[in-house]
Amino acid sequence: MTKKNAVVDKEFCVACGACTKVCPKNAISVFCGKYAVTAENLCIGCGICEKICPAGVIDIMEARTL
């Protein structure tokens, strides 16, 4: 089974924090006011943050197999 994760484009993220407010797992946070980061172990890839992101910098992608 492949796991899905929210992936943030750090270069274009505006760090507004809209994603942090809707995440059901508290898996996404704004790192030092720079950009949003996903905690891959908590993210369930539901895509709610992707839908709310005003900058459109979040994509749901298949997690890399380690």
Closer of 24 and 66 to other proteins (Cβ):
24
* The two structure tokens encoding residue 15: 């760090």
Closer of 38 and 64 to other proteins (Cβ):
38
By CB under 8 A, the count of residues binding other proteins is 23
Q: How near is the Cβ of 64 to other proteins at its closest, in Å?
A: 25
Residues 11-30 binding other proteins (CB under 8 A) are 12, 14-18, 20-22, 24, 26, 30
Residues 6+ apart with CB under 8 A from 53: 18, 19
Whether 17 and 56 have beta carbons less than 8 Å apart is answered as no
